[in-house]
Amino acid sequence: MRPTVATARATAGTCRNDFTIAGGNMGTDNNTSSRAYIIQQFSSGTLTIASTLAETGAGNCFIKSGPGRLVLSGTNTFSGPTYINEGVLTAGSAQNGTTSGPLGANGAINFTGGTLQYSSDTNIAVADYSPRFATGGGMQYKVDTNGRTVTFGTVLTSAGGSLTKSGSGTLTLNAVGNAYTGTTSINGGTLALGASALLAYTPVINVASGATFDVTGKLSAGLTLSQFAPQELRGDGLVFGNVTLGSASTLTPGASGVGTLSFDGNLTLSGSSVFNFELGSDATAGTTYDQVKLFSTYGGTFDLGAGVINFSNFNFTPLAGFGAGTYTLFDGGFPPTTLAGTLGSSLTGQINGFDATLSQSGSSVLLTVAAAVPEPGTLVLLAAAGLAVAVARRRRSR
């Protein structure tokens, strides 16, 4: 650990391993000029600052850089903005309104690459920091709930901005319209939507393996994708609640590879929906080929619509091992999901030279792949070629 350095207008520190700074105030000089608290970490160690950061001069700010974890557990009163550039910044003490707290009094919180983490200590009250979130372009809202239940009541607004939910616990979005326009990534725990919450402009919602996207707060209406712009729902996790794929919606089980995207509730498709599936062999759903798993804890419906889903709605990507077999693309078998509607009338096509046909079976949708049968003209050409080869061999044998 290098020593903390205080200059006339800046307080800076660097940390290589776990370290704690406690006692007293850091940088209080009642100066009206600007001061920046800059913490630069060079490894994944944890630095805890329990001292009070009390700068209130004009232009003061706090900057967290480097890959490590920084815990602010003091009663900090600095009034300027916070910049989370890298690593993890943990709110390790209680927020006291707009007076003091781990992230200072009331300055804007800028997400420029790092993660805001809540304390796992249940003795520390959970604060809603969303009213302080900066709204400039490209904000990367990264939030680790760390086993806690957190609710954001203010709209997240950032052109080109994104939201990443990590860690165990639940983050609930209650604001009427979230207007960030980048990806929503649910990497751990649960991201839940309140009754009026919308994710209207995020183009991709990715639910990672082990994570949950909970839309039950929107009651029976559930979530409708692509209400305002095209949207893709993808991943290997669980979607809990009712979902409708609106116009220009895309459903992609699996994220960076083959996987299973599960739905517990109603799933309603539309004629303009697009479905992306990667297909290896038909041996194991979710392992060798993509699958959408449908089940319902309290009874649900898989609605295909009135004959509007056809072969052309699907994009199939053949992988190593792809060939003849039966693929269960949508599995509504257990617990049983009620099937509504029917597939369309154009259900056949070709995938990598193989004939393929969609069909319904119970509450599931199957894809049957068979070796392509050559056209009659092709058979004639093959026969002629075979005869020519035989004649040539016979002549050479004389």
Q: For 364-381, what is the mean pLDDT?
A: 75
Q: Which structural domain range is residue 341 located in? A: 203-398
Residue 94, pLDDT score: 96
Average pLDDT over residues 275-294: 98
Domain membership flag for residue 176: no
Does position 146 have pLDDT exceeding 90, yes or no? yes
Strand partners for 261: 292
Of the residues 83, 109, 127, which one is the last residue of a structural domain? 127
Tell me: the pLDDT tens digits for 57-82?
Answer: 777 899 999 999 999 999 999 999 99
Residue that has been written with the tokens 């993660």 in this structure: 115
Residue 253 resides in a domain? yes
Residue 321: pLDDT over 60: yes
Cβ neighbours for 19, distance < 8 A, ≥ 6 positions apart: 1, 45, 46, 47, 48
Residue pair 214/193 in contact (Cβ under 8 Å)? The answer is yes
Q: 265: burial class by Cβ within 10 Å (0-12, 13-18, 19+)?
A: buried
- Assess if residue 76 is contained within a domain: yes
* Closest to 189 in 3D by CA, of 268, 295, 117, 89: 117
> Are β-strands 260-264 and 291-295 bridged in parallel, bridged antiparallel, or unpaired?
parallel
Domain's final residue, options 102, 127, 152 = 127
Per residue in 329-360, pLDDT (tens digit) is 999 977 778 999 999 999 999 999 999 999 99
Lookup: tokens for 129: 């920091």
Do 255 and 393 have their domain in common?
Answer: yes
Counting the structural domains of the chain, the total is 2
Same domain, 220 and 366: yes
- What pLDDT sits at residue 233? 98
Same domain, 383 and 244: yes
Any idea which residue has 């949508």 for tokens? 330
Residue 70 lies in a domain: yes
Looking at the fold, whether 372 and 241 belong to one and the same domain comes out as yes
- Same domain membership, residue 349 and residue 236: yes
Q: Is residue 187 part of a domain?
A: no
Residue at a domain's end among 94, 127, 160: 127
Q: 238-242, 256-260, 332-336, 377-381: which range is least confident on average?
A: 377-381
Q: Is residue 120 part of a domain?
A: yes
Res. 16: pLDDT tops 70:
no
> Does residue 19 fall inside a structural domain?
yes
Sheet holding 170-173, edge to edge: 149-152, 170-173, 190-193, 212-214, 238-240, 260-264, 291-295, 325-331, 364-371, 354-361, 348-351
In a domain, 154, yes or no: no
Please write down the HEC assignment for all residues of 31-99: CCCCCEEEEEECCCCEEEECCEECCCCCCCEEEEECCCEEEECCCECCCCCEEECCCEEEECCCCECCC
